[in-house]
Structure 1
Amino acid sequence: MSKTGKIIISIILLIIIGLGAAGNYFYSYAVVPAKKEFLAASSSKKSTQLIAAEKWFDANHSNWQITSKDGLELSAYYLPAKTNQHKTAIIAHGYMGQAADMSQYAKIYHDLGYNVLLPDARGHGKSEGNYIGFGWPERKDYLQWIKYVNKKEPRTEIILHGVSMGAATIMMTSGEKLPDNVKAFVEDCGYSSVNDELSYQLKQLFNLPAFPLIPVTSLITKIRAGYFWGEADTIKQLRKNNRPMLFIHGDKDDFVPFSMLDKVYHATKGPKEKYVVHGAKHAEALSSDPTLYQKKITEFIQKYIP
C-alpha cells in the first residue's frame, strides 16, 4: 500500500473513532436516564391547585406492576373513581419526569368520574430500564397497560392523555392495533418524530447540524437500546390512526417547537381538534390557564365518552 493510501485509511479510521466517541457521548446525553442539565428547573412555587392535587394523589393511589415484553418490571399508580362509571384515563408523563408529577392532570379526569392510571415509563420513576425510548418501545408497554386495565375492568372505556414525551408516546400508540374501547387521545406538546426533536435539540444546545451525529447516534441506540431513532416516527403512526385526538401546544414552546403542532395535527386521519395556548412555553398549557385547559379537555372527551 502506498504512503498516501495509508494516510487516507488513517484519516478515515480517526473520523470513525471520533464519530463513535461523539455518538456515545450524545447517546449518554440524550438516551441514558440521568439528571439532565439542559432541562429547565421547575418553579419552586406551586399553585394552590397543584398542592391540592398532590395531597389527593398521595392519599388515594395504589400501585400496579406489569412485566414488559422484554422483561422489565414496569410500575404505575392507580386511582379508582369514586363511583365506577366504567371510564379510565391513562396518563403519560414527559422526558425525565415520572408518573407522580402528573397529579394535576389525574385530578382533572378523576373529577370527571374516571379511574386514572399513571405509568412510570421505562427508565423513569419506579420502572426498570437503562435507556429512554422517546415513546417508541413505550408504545408497546402502553398496549400492555391497556390490556391490563381491560382485564381488571372489562367494561371500561379508555382515553389516553400524554404530555411532551408522553404525548409522543400516546400518538405512537394510536397507530397500533387497539381494542375498540380505546375511544380518544389528548396529546399535549408532543414531537413529530425523534429524529426531528433530537436534530432540533442538537442545533439548539450545540449549534451542530443533524448529519452525521444523528444517524451515528441512532445506530448506537440500535446497538445499545434496540431501536433506531428513525423508527420512532410519530407522524407515520398518526397516519394509521382513525380515533379522535385533541392536540394542545403552547405557541412559545422552545423545547418541542410550536411548528411541530401542525405536522402532527395534519397527520392523523381521525376526528381532531386543536387548542393553542397563547404565551405558554413547553408543557405549561395546564399551568397557564387550568380552568380553560380543563374545559377544553372536558368538552372534547365528552363527545366520545358521554
Structure 2
Amino acid sequence: MKKKTILELAAPAVVASSALAASLRLFDYAFKRVDYIPETSADKQKYATAYYHYVDWYKQIPKEKWVLHPDDLENRLVANFIPAPKPSKQTVIISHGYKGDGETMANYAQLFYNLGYNVLLPDDRSHGESAGDYINFGWLDRLDYLEWLNKIIVKLGTDSVIVLYGASMGGATVEMMSGEKLPPQVKALIADSGYSSIEAELSYLLRKQFHLPKYPFVPLVSMINKRRLGYYLSDVESTSQLSKNHLPILFIHGDKDVYVPHSMAFRNYDATQGPRELWIVKGASHVESFWLDPVRYQNHVAHFLTKYLVTN
C-alpha cells in the first residue's frame, strides 16, 4: 500500500518532467536556427524550375550589401539592396518566410523590380547572413525592420515612398510592424499568408503535424521562449498589432493553405483599422498564390498600390 502511494505521488512529477523534455525538443525543433534552406513542400516542387530561374536573376542583378550593427557580432543584420531599373524614390522591403532568407524571395523581388521599385531584402535574425541563435517569428524582427526603414530614408531621402511586403512568417512580420510608429514614408502594406498569432499557429501545427494538444506543450514552450528570447508567445499577435494600424493593407491567402489556415486571414482582416483588401486565392496552398499565376499576382498587387501611391 505504501509503495503504491509513493508511485502515485511520483507519477505527476514524471509526467511533468516528460512534458518539459518534450517541450524543450519542440522548442529546438521550431525555434533553433538552421544554416540551410529546408526543401520546399511537395506541393510546390513543381515550381522548382521557375523558382531557380528567379534565383539566377537575383544572383546576377547588381545589388548592394547593407549591414546593421556591423561591429556587434551577436546583433549583426544583413540585407541586400537592389536599385530600381530607373532612379526611383519608391522602395519595397520584402520580409522572407520561416527558415528562408532574402534570396528565397527572389520572385517577389523581381515582381517589384518590374514595377519600378528599389528592393530591400533583409535576412531576419537567425537566418541567412544575419546573427542569432533562435527564430523569433517576426516579433523582434519587426523592430529590426524599423532600423531598415530609417536606413532607406537616410540613403534615399525623406521624400522616399516605402511599401512593406511579406509572405508567411514575413507576412506576419509586416502585420506586426503595422502596430508600431512607422515613419510617414511608409504608405502601404501587403501580407501574404501571415498568421494571426504565433500561439494559435503553434497550437494548430502541434495538432495537425504531431497530434499533440495545446496543453501543456504550448505554455511550456512559451516559458522556454521567455527565458531564451525575453517574451511569452502570447505577446506575438498580428491581430493586436493590426488593431493599431491605419495604413492601407492587402491580405493575400490561399484557400487550400494547410500550414497557416486561411481563417487567420479573416481574423487579420477584421482586426485592422486601415483601408483593407482581402484576396482569397482559390486552389492555392501555403504561399502558392504567386506561383499559380505570376502575372495575375503582379497585376493584383499593382492595382492595389496604384490606389495609395503616387508613381514616379
With the shorter chain as reference, the TM-score category is over 0.9
Evaluate the alpha carbon distance shift between residue 29 and residue 183 of structure 1 in structure 2; reply closer, same or farther with a 3 A threshold: same
Which residue pairs with 2:286 in the alignment? 282
Structure 1 counterpart of 2:68, which letter?
A: I
1:109-128 alignment runs, 5 A limit: 109-128=112-131
- Give secondary structure in 1 for the equivalent of 2:48: coil
| Equivalent AA in structure 1 for residue 145 of structure 2 | Y
Regions of 4+ moved over 6 Å: 2-5, 35-39
Shift of 1:74: 0.7
Normalised TM-score (structure 2) = 0.91
Counterpart amino acid of 1:74?
L
> Contact 2:47–2:291 at 8 Å: present in 1 too?
no
Matches within 5 A, 1:4-153: 9-34=9-34, 40=41, 43=45, 46-48=48-50, 50-59=51-60, 60-67=62-69, 71-153=74-156
Query: C-alpha displacement at 1:57, in angstroms?
Result: 1.7
Indicate how the Cα distance of structure 1 residues 283 and 45 shifts in structure 2: closer, same or farther if over 3 A, else same. closer
- Structure 1 residue 73: Cα displacement: 0.6
CA contact (8 A) 2:74 2:132 kept: no
Does the CA-based 8 Å contact 2:94-2:109 persist in structure 1? yes
For residue 282 of structure 1, report the CA deviation from its aligned partner: 0.4
TM-aligned CA deviation for residue 37 of structure 1: 7.6
CA distance in 2, matches of 1:7, 1:45: 56
Does 2:223 correspond to 1:222? no
Cα distance, 1:29 vs. partner? 1.2
In structure 1, the residue corresponding to 2:45 is in which secondary structure? coil
Determine if contact 2:172/2:196 at 8 Å carries over to the other structure: yes
Task: Tell me the residue number matched to 1:233.
Answer: 237
Moved more, 8-17 or 159-168: 8-17
Question: Is 2:306 aligned against 1:305?
Answer: no
Letter in 2 for 1:236: S
CA distance in 2 between counterparts of 1:110 and 1:212 reads: 46
**1:192 and 1:17, CA in 2 relative to 1: closer, same or farther beyond 3 A?**
same
Letter aligned with residue 160 of structure 2: T
Does the 8 A contact of 1:29 with 1:36 survive in 2?
A: no
Shift of 1:17: 1.6
Q: Could you tell me the TM-score, scaled by structure 1's length?
A: 0.93
Q: Deviations over 1:95-121 (max 9, x none)?
A: 011110111101111111111000011
Q: 1:10 to 1:242 in 2, by over 3 A?
A: same
Does the residue aligned with 1:43 lie in a helix, a strand or coil?
A: helix
RMSD of aligned C-alpha atoms? 2.2
Tell me, in whole angstroms, the C-alpha distance in 2 between the residues paired with 1:39 and 1:52: 16
Partner of 1:271: 275
Q: Give the number of aligned pairs.
A: 304
Of residues 207, 211, 216 in structure 2, which corresponds to 1:207?
A: 211
Q: Does 1:166 align with 2:166?
A: no
Q: Percent of aligned pairs with the same residue?
A: 40
> Which amino acid is the alignment partner of residue 114 of structure 1?
Y
What is the CA-CA distance between 1:83 and the residue it aligns to?
A: 2.3
For the residues of structure 1 that align with 2:288 and 2:69, how far apart are their CA atoms?
32
For 1:165 and 1:17, the matched residues in 2 are separated by 31
Q: For residues 18-71 of structure 1, what are the alpha-carbon distances to aligned partners after superposition, in whole Å with 9 as ceiling and x for unaligned?
A: 2220110110111112369896255265355x4553333212222111029995
Moved more, 9-18 or 279-288: 9-18
* CA offsets 1:177-198 (integer angstroms, 9 cap, x no match): 1111110100000001000100
Alignment correspondent of 1:246: 250
- 2: CA distance, partners of 1:27 / 1:243: 34
The equivalent of 2:193 in structure 1 is 189
- Unmatched 5+ residue regions in structure 2? none
